[in-house]
A and B are shown apart, each in its own frame.
Chain A
Amino acid sequence: MATSTTMAVSASATAALALGARDDAGPTSFSGRLRVWRWKYRQAWTAYLILAPIVLYLFVFTWIPILIMAALSVTEWNIVQWPPTFVGLENYVEIFTDPYYQKVIRTTVTFALVVLVLELVVGFGIAMLLNQQLRGRAMFRTIWYLPVVISGAVLAQTLAVFLYPAKFGALNSILDLFGQPPVIWTRSEFWMPFWVIMFSFWRGVGTVVIFFLAGLQSIDGTLYEAAQVDGANRWKLFRHITIPQLAPVTLFVFMTSLVRSLQIWEAPLVLTYGGPNQSTRTMVYSMYSDAFGNLAMGMAAAESILMLVTLMTLSGLNLRFLRVQQ
């Protein structure tokens, strides 16, 4: 039912018709016009009554917080002392000039890009395979989606067991099988970022697979048949039908995956605490530790606002592109 897209008939228009309106000229009799007017009036009234609490709720719990944060971001505040000290744009300047925050930004962007590329490439490949006629497709699809429905924080915490430094750790015991000495993962500035990235990829790739798969399955089969009649081969079908037909989905997946991977926080928060040597300190984790660890509310607010502006720009672009595509 959800997938039958063709019947997008506007209910209001048909309802108005049924109640006496003709679509262009409108009813000529006085009573007919009155009925249409009353129906329109009632619709608006109903809609406002329904939407008022929703809009109010979003205003109070989404937009007021953003205003609070914007106000806090130009202050220095330790949450206890009142009032906060006004410092102008100092917090923002610090984010862009201080080596610590520059490293945080670099880490965040690097993680996001690597995870994004991995998710798109692997996700697309797997979706292509799952779109073939293979036995056990449903099972494979389920396997790929499983990590998405399990708590990321809990899984990140169990990663501690896999990375256990002694040879009891699962990964080190695999190395041990091949006669390699154990690696102290948690102290390595190469391996911890690597595992944080792998973990985020593992958690997120299922979503990408599902969306690509849905995109592939919604391509009109007659397109392929027509092209086959014209003698197109497998590669040509892929190049000239699959790729262009998949463009809107790809854009959607690209943007949502980017927005998601810019906010990596699970593994840093419960496993690495941003270490070793701050090599896994992402923006969201830095914000968390500034706010609730260092009680630097102003800095945390400035970081949040910067993230928010970035993410909203990306989502805004996404919506815009999607609309253009349509």
Chain B
Amino acid sequence: MTGIGRRPLWLSIAMYAVLGVTSLIILYPLAFMVLATFTTVDQYLRTAFFPIPNSFSFQNYVTILSDCSQGCMLGAIVVTWIRCLWYIFWALLVAIMGGYAFGRLTFPFKNALFLFTLSGLMVPPLLTALPHYIMLARFPLVGGNSIWGIGGSGFINTLPALGMLGLVNVIALFLVKQNYEMLPGDYEEAARVDGAGTLRVIFQIYVPMLKPALTAVAILEFVQIWNDYFGPLIFVGGNRDITPVALTVQRLIYAYTQRQGDTVGDFPLIFAAATLMSIPTVLVYLALQRYFVEGLVGAGIKG
């Protein structure tokens, strides 16, 4: 961009070369993964450094979708989609409402409350998994627990354990709040003069203007929940019927790489599972990356 005169040709070539080679290295494992899914085990083993399929057969995908040895893929996909929608709903709601409060209103203790909310950002969910486990397992009056939370297993290995934690996405709230602050106030004034209530102001005036930021929030949340592994492993790891897709795929891969004895593992099948689970997030990202970069990075850094 610095455009001093014209760039010398050798520099252009060097830049393309560096970028091309490094990008190929970054892409190699993913390209490998996708190509391997179309091979049979025999084909795969002949060219293990870069599998090139003879024909495009979707047999591995069919097999992996109908295999229920480690929990069914189809069931896992359904559970994960429901979970994603549930989390996106809460992330958006919290961001829209909380962002309005912090971005558009003045009230006593605003800074203190904002700092308190922001402090949630500094606590990675990985590190609170242990007390969360105890809280879910000792939740009173569910899963065989008494009113004191003893006797049963509480919410562990049940569906609610997949939807209770992390409903408030502080990053999303912060991002949307930054975007609220950039919007002009005239529309709200006009609507208020006409007698519109707060909810109408938020959902009819601001939400349409916040579309890029809200899209970014939805992508962020979708990718995060779709790929969520650690939480499900700890909270519902013992219940195959409701394990989300990341955990199911990881278990399938584990099962097929361990199957040694007479033969090596069924590697193409493993890659089919991994590819299948990667498709939704990659597609969502590809389709919406404009919003993503605009909404996320723009507000995040300059804010």
Q: Report A's interface with B, CB cutoff 8 A.
A: 1-5, 7-15, 18-19, 40, 43-44, 46-48, 50-51, 54-55, 57-58, 61-62, 64-66, 68-69, 72, 79, 82, 122, 126, 129-134, 140, 142-147, 149-155, 157-162, 164, 166-174, 177, 202, 205, 210-211, 214-218, 221, 224, 228, 233-234, 237-238, 248-249, 252, 259, 263, 265-266, 269-270, 284, 287-288, 291-292, 297, 300-301, 304, 307-308, 311-312, 315-316, 319
Q: Kindly report which residue of chain A lies nearest to residue B228, judged by CB atoms.
A: A151
Residues of B within 8 A of A145 (CB): 285, 289
Contact A12 B250 (CB under 8 A): no
> If the complex has contacts A146-B282, A154-B277, are A54 and B128 also in contact, measured as CB distance less than 8 A?
no
Instruction: Give chain B interface residues in 125-164, CB to chain A under 8 Å.
Output: 126-135, 150, 164
- The distance from the CB of B247 to the nearest CB of chain A, in whole angstroms, is 8
In the complex, the number of residue pairs spanning A and B with C-beta atoms less than 8 Å apart equals 315
- Give which listed residue, B33, B108, B113, contacts A55 with CB less than 8 A: B113
> If the complex has contacts A1-B209, A58-B116, A149-B285, are A14 and B168 also in contact, measured as CB distance less than 8 A?
no
Contact B105 A61 (CB under 8 A): no
- Give which listed residue, B23, B167, B180, contacts A143 with CB less than 8 A: B23
> If the complex has contacts A68-B131, A158-B274, are A2 and B101 also in contact, measured as CB distance less than 8 A?
no
For B, the interface residue count at a CB cutoff of 8 angstroms equals: 119
Residues of A within 8 A of B118 (CB): 319
Contact A249 B131 (CB under 8 A): no
- Per CB-CB distance, the 8 closest pairs between chain A and chain B, nearest first, are A65-B131, A214-B297, A153-B229, A11-B185, A151-B227, A44-B107, A173-B48, A3-B298
- Give which listed residue, A2, A172, A173, A216, contacts B179 with CB less than 8 A: A2
Contact B271 A158 (CB under 8 A): yes
Complex Cα gap A9–B182 (Å): 7
Further 4 A-B residue pairs, CB within 8 A, beyond A5-B298, A7-B184, A65-B128: A146-B27, A146-B30, A151-B249, A312-B119
26 A/B residue pairs, CB under 8 Å, sorted by A: A2-B216, A7-B183, A11-B103, A11-B105, A13-B106, A14-B189, A15-B189, A15-B192, A43-B105, A47-B101, A50-B97, A61-B166, A69-B130, A72-B131, A129-B19, A134-B12, A134-B16, A150-B227, A151-B229, A154-B278, A158-B274, A162-B32, A168-B264, A224-B1, A308-B127, A312-B123
- Give which listed residue, A122, A168, A228, A249, contacts B4 with CB less than 8 A: A228
Contact B253 A157 (CB under 8 A): yes
Residues of B within 8 A of A169 (CB): 48
Residues of A within 8 A of B278 (CB): 150-151, 154
Contact B130 A304 (CB under 8 A): yes
Contact A149 B223 (CB under 8 A): yes
Q: Kindly report which residue of chain B lies nearest to residue A326, judged by CB atoms.
A: B303
Residues of A within 8 A of B230 (CB): 153, 265, 269
Contact B101 A51 (CB under 8 A): yes
Q: Kindly report which residue of chain A lies nearest to residue B257, judged by CB atoms.
A: A160
- The distance from the CB of A92 to the nearest CB of chain B, in whole angstroms, is 16
Q: Kindly report which residue of chain A lies nearest to residue B134, judged by CB atoms.
A: A68
Residues of A within 8 A of B250 (CB): 153-154, 157, 270
Residues of A within 8 A of B126 (CB): 263, 265, 284
- The distance from the CB of A161 to the nearest CB of chain B, in whole angstroms, is 5
- The distance from the CB of B89 to the nearest CB of chain A, in whole angstroms, is 15
Contact B132 A61 (CB under 8 A): yes
- The distance from the CB of A42 to the nearest CB of chain B, in whole angstroms, is 9
Residues of B within 8 A of A5 (CB): 182, 298, 302
Contact A316 B135 (CB under 8 A): no
Contact A11 B104 (CB under 8 A): yes
Contact A154 B246 (CB under 8 A): yes
Contact B130 A54 (CB under 8 A): no
- The distance from the CB of B64 to the nearest CB of chain A, in whole angstroms, is 13
Contact A51 B130 (CB under 8 A): no
- The distance from the CB of A264 to the nearest CB of chain B, in whole angstroms, is 10
Contact B229 A152 (CB under 8 A): yes
Q: Kindly report which residue of chain A lies nearest to residue B94, judged by CB atoms.
A: A54
Contact B135 A65 (CB under 8 A): yes
Residues of B within 8 A of A249 (CB): 301
Instruction: Give chain B interface residues in 11-37, CB to chain A under 8 Å.
Output: 12, 15-16, 18-19, 22-23, 26-27, 29-30, 32-33
